[in-house]
Amino acid sequence: MDLGPLPPSSPNPNPIPNSPIIPSDKPPDPKITPPPFESIPKNSLDNPFKGPDPVDRVETHRRSLEEAEKMVKAPFKFRLNQPLSFNGAEVGTNVSLEDFNRVVALLVATLECGYHPKGAPIPMCATDWARLSCAVLVATGRGYSKHYDYGMQATLEEVREGATDPNPLSSSYPTLFYRLAAIAEHIEGHISPDLDMYQS
């Protein structure tokens, strides 16, 4: 083994010049750290923990509100677009079909005016309006329950299925009996008195 001196190293073909380090006028910026999570307001625009905002949040809320209002008012949008058939002999009267439908139109118009004036005159006071409404709703309930019998359930279902709604609330509620139930439920929600307030 040769322990003689090492051969001289070959010069670097691309030497790096020793450039002097020029100090900058200002110190480097410290690392930016976000403030603690607890100290950031939830709705702050510069909140780094906040998720992405929907671009059209106002428009989304407006559309949602419109859809909700449609669902709330839908049962009240029903109109009689054609005359009702009426056989007065079945109830012992000789009222003509035309006269009966005139009375129906007058009754509907009277109830539709409501019980509280909103700039337009109303044909009935609140008490009479409520009495007439009670008479109509109670007669509807009595007429409906008169034929309700567990033994006739299948027959009643067939009859109800034939009363299709020309403008159903949804595909799940295709008959006018569904609309009748929805109307009754919405009436209860709109005019049910606050019993706690009255008792106090």
Residue 81: C-alpha distances to residues 62, 77, 166 (Å):
32, 12, 10
Residue boundaries of the structural domains of the chain: 150-200
Q: Which residue has the tokens 């034929």?
A: 147
> What does the pLDDT average to over 13-42?
62
Most confidently predicted of 52-61, 63-72, 173-182: 173-182
Task: In whole angstroms, give the CA distance from residue 140 to residue 137.
Answer: 5
CB 163 within 8 A of CB 177: yes
Residue 67: C-alpha distances to residues 62, 70, 71, 173, 185 (Å):
9, 5, 6, 18, 19
Taking the C-alpha atoms of 142, 147, 153 and 155 in order, what is their torsion angle to the nearest 10 degrees? -130
Task: In whole angstroms, give the CA distance from residue 101 to residue 83.
Answer: 6
Q: Which residue has the tokens 């019980």?
A: 115
> What does the pLDDT average to over 103-117?
90
pLDDT in the model for residue 16: 60
Phi-psi region of 149 (alpha: psi -120 to 50; beta: other; left: phi over 0): beta
The H or E element that residue 12 is part of is none
Q: Is the pLDDT of residue 33 over 70?
A: no
8 confidence band (pLDDT: 50, 70, 90):
low
